[in-house]
Structure 1
Amino acid sequence: MDVVVIGGGGTVGSTVAYTLSVQIPATNVTLVDTDIDAAEGHAIDIRHSMCHATYGLGRPDFASEPLGSVHVAEPSPSVVSESDCLVVTASAPRPKDGDARGGRLTFLERNLEIVDNIAAWLNEADPTPVIVVSNPVDRITHRLWRQTGWPRQRFLGYSLSETARIADEIARQTDASPREVYCPILGEHGEHIVPIFSRATVSGEPVNFSESERDDIVEYVRDVPYDVLKLRGAQDSSRWVTARGVASVVQRLDDDCADALVCLSTPLEGEYGFKDVSLSVPVRLDKDGVANIVEWSLVEEERTALEDAYRVVRTST
């Protein structure tokens, strides 16, 4: 599979590229960035990391499949045309106060300019599945769709880190393994997340939480990325959980797993009663992006929370 990481010279983009190379070693990764030196430096380092397959101790990590390549390219329609998937991580530096809760929105104005520049050369290429990571994800996903004019099914806004975080918290509260936890999250990638507790399970069995317990879980998911920033520094990010999640989505596209449901942000044109907005909803994937959007029946409080997310995101898109 050929994957282009737009913003590959940055912290998140380079981490995504490295994770793809480790998790799916046969992937060919192209780093595109205005800082060509930074991108080249990351490409060399990632390429060297794959060379551990040359000796016995490292070889099992790479199995027997062929190794992909890692290289750098200038932004151009031809780079897009030769790829199977684009990952957009390009972003302005973290603004002042961007490390406080709700800080994703502080990127909006500058990142809209960046995504408009990206769209200017993307729209000269054939439509390709796009995974948008740049914040605020829902607004940026929708803007990129509008500016390129590509089919909306090609656009996937990454929002799986919240799903991973809520699994971690529910696992702690129930003394279960995170891999046994299922609690999908709809809505905004931000303050207006909508955990679907009515579908939550642990070890395949429904799990019930009191209202106060649900509130505590949601607050944890909202708070923890900013706790990570306080611990690691404002110019870093929760890049490991993001990169692993993005790599999983890329792998799903490559496997063409149409039966697997995942909650990602995508442009809505009537689904759930919403139009002209991108929000996280359950989707099935195929090699072209979104195969179809699934409309779940929601309990009243979940439906109300999703409508709140729609109003907030729609007014700032």
Structure 2
Amino acid sequence: MHVLVVGGGGTIGSTVAYTLATQHPSLEVTLADPKAERAEGHAIDLFHSRSHAAHAIGRPEFEASTLGDVSVVDPTSSPEPDPVEAADAIVVTASEPRSSDSLERGGRLSVLERNLEIASDLGEWFASADPTPTVVVANPSDRVTHRLWEASGWPRGSFLGYSLSETARIADEIARRVSAREPSNGDVSPADVYCPILGEHGEHIVPVFSRTTVDGRPVEFAESERVEILDYVRSVPYDVIEMRDNGDSSRWVTGRGISLIVSRLLEGGTDPDADPVCLATPLDGEYGLKGVTLSVPVVLDGDGVAEIVEWDLSTDERERLERAAESIRESLGHR
């Protein structure tokens, strides 16, 4: 199996590549980046991380006979053979370098125009290859996913805009709140929380509180608590950036989330008994919305989105989803 990471020389791209490479030792990974020397440095280090199979401590984790290659290509040089055609899954992290504006809440939109241009160029590159499931991480991921889909000519189900970090963050916050509310029941783990998030990867996230459960039990929050939970999820990635004091993003939660999606795609899709996962994909009438890419519940298969699941939403949730769609349309110049 072969994964192409476009933007693999960057912080998020290299984090994704490392996570995938160590979780799947036989996986072939190609880092595509015009900054080829930087990407080559990551590639060497990544392969050496697998080479711990050479000693007794590392041998149980790796099988030396199945170590996959880690390679580098410059996408601006028309590489042959075509790494897009060779890929079983693609991750797009290529992005305009982050400015100081991008480090503050709402900052994802500060790189919108340049990242849309990058998406258009990548779509032209992808267009000559067969459709391949593609996870888009470059911010703002819903807008970039939409532009990449338009430029590629591939089926809309080939594209998944990443948005799982919010789901992880809200699970952590809800677990803390329920633990404080019900101390006699002990600490609640985020693993026991289910609160899917629809909408935009940004300010217009739409937590589906009507479906929220803790250890399988429905849980209710007052409106004031919902506002506080929303504020936490919107703000915490920027708090993390500030705490790190070097503009470093929350790449661990992102890298782990992307690797989970790619692993599921490579395995051929979702367990039929599992809940759908909320990721951004272009809509064509689902939830009454067209011409926009939003996070919605999807079922995955080896080609990407096998099915978009339409949940019954509360009136407030549906209105928030429509506002998210309008925000995305406006920023793309669509009406």
Where on the TM-score scale, by shorter chain, does this alignment land: which range? over 0.9
- Report whether the alignment pairs 1:202 with 2:217: no
Q: 1:64 to 1:182 in 2, by over 3 A?
A: farther
Q: Distance in 1 between matches of 2:68 and 2:189?
A: 33
Q: Distance in 1 between matches of 2:257 and 2:112?
A: 22
Q: Give the aligned partner of residue 133 of structure 1.
A: 137
- 2:54 touches 2:64 (CA, 8 Å); kept in 1? no
Q: Give the aligned partner of residue 92 of structure 1.
A: 96
Report how far residue 227 of structure 1 moved: 0.3
Query: Which moved further from structure 2: 206-215 or 144-153?
Result: 206-215
Q: Give the aligned partner of residue 232 of structure 2.
A: 220
- Report whether the alignment pairs 1:144 with 2:148: yes
Q: Give the aligned partner of residue 34 of structure 2.
A: 34
The SS at the match of 1:15 is helix
- 1:181 touches 1:200 (CA, 8 Å); kept in 2? yes
Q: Distance in 2 between matches of 1:230 and 1:65?
A: 43
**Aligned AA for 1:193?**
I
Q: Give the aligned partner of residue 294 of structure 1.
A: 309
Query: Which moved further from structure 2: 70-79 or 285-294?
Result: 70-79
Q: Distance in 2 between matches of 1:196 and 1:25?
A: 37
Report how far residue 242 of structure 1 moved: 0.5
The SS at the match of 2:220 is coil
Q: 1:65 to 1:253 in 2, by over 3 A?
A: farther
Q: 1:60 to 1:281 in 2, by over 3 A?
A: same
Of 95, 109, 115, 2:113 maps to: 109
Report how far residue 65 of structure 1 moved: 8.6
- Report whether the alignment pairs 1:270 with 2:294: no
Report how far residue 234 of structure 1 moved: 5.2
Report how far residue 99 of structure 1 moved: 0.8
Report how far residue 88 of structure 1 moved: 0.3
Q: Distance in 2 between matches of 1:308 and 1:54?
A: 54
The SS at the match of 1:164 is helix
Q: Distance in 1 between matches of 2:193 and 2:100?
A: 36
- 2:142 touches 2:201 (CA, 8 Å); kept in 1? yes
Alignment of 1:13-52 (within 5 A): 13-52=13-52
Provide, for residues 215-264 of structure 1, a one-character-per-residue CA deviation record: whole Å limited to 9, x for no partner.
Answer: 11111000000001111135311111101000000011112233241100
List structure 1 segments (4+ residues) > 4 angstroms apart after TM superposition.
none
Q: Distance in 2 between matches of 1:121 and 1:255?
A: 26
Q: Distance in 2 between matches of 1:180 and 1:256?
A: 26
Report how far residue 63 of structure 1 moved: 6.8
Q: Give the aligned partner of residue 183 of structure 2.
A: none
The SS at the match of 1:97 is helix
**Aligned AA for 1:25?**
P
Provide, for residues 75-124 of structure 1, a one-character-per-residue CA deviation record: whole Å limited to 9, x for no partner.
Answer: 24711111101100000111231111000000101111111221221111
- Report whether the alignment pairs 1:155 with 2:131: no
Report how far residue 64 of structure 1 moved: 8.6
**Aligned AA for 1:80?**
V
Report how far residue 290 of structure 1 moved: 0.3
- Report whether the alignment pairs 1:316 with 2:328: no
**Aligned AA for 1:216?**
E
- 1:94 touches 1:234 (CA, 8 Å); kept in 2? no
Alignment of 1:229-268 (within 5 A): 229-233=241-245, 235-258=247-270, 259=272, 260=274, 261-268=276-283
The SS at the match of 2:102 is coil
Q: TM-score, normalised by structure 2?
A: 0.92
Q: Give the aligned partner of residue 56 of structure 2.
A: 56
**Aligned AA for 1:112?**
L
Provide, for residues 247-285 of structure 1, a one-character-per-residue CA deviation record: whole Å limited to 9, x for no partner.
Answer: 000011112233241100000010000011000000000
Q: 1:152 to 1:65 in 2, by over 3 A?
A: farther
**Aligned AA for 1:89?**
T
Q: Distance in 1 between matches of 2:111 and 2:177?
A: 33
**Aligned AA for 2:174?**
I
The SS at the match of 2:114 is helix
Q: Distance in 2 between matches of 1:61 and 1:209?
A: 43
Q: Give the aligned partner of residue 87 of structure 2.
A: 83
Report how far residue 148 of structure 1 moved: 0.7
- 1:105 touches 1:135 (CA, 8 Å); kept in 2? yes
Q: Distance in 2 between matches of 1:20 and 1:6?
A: 14
Report how far residue 60 of structure 1 moved: 2.8
Query: Which moved further from structure 2: 91-100 or 71-80?
Result: 71-80
Taking only aligned residues, the RMSD between alpha carbons, in angstroms, comes to 1.4
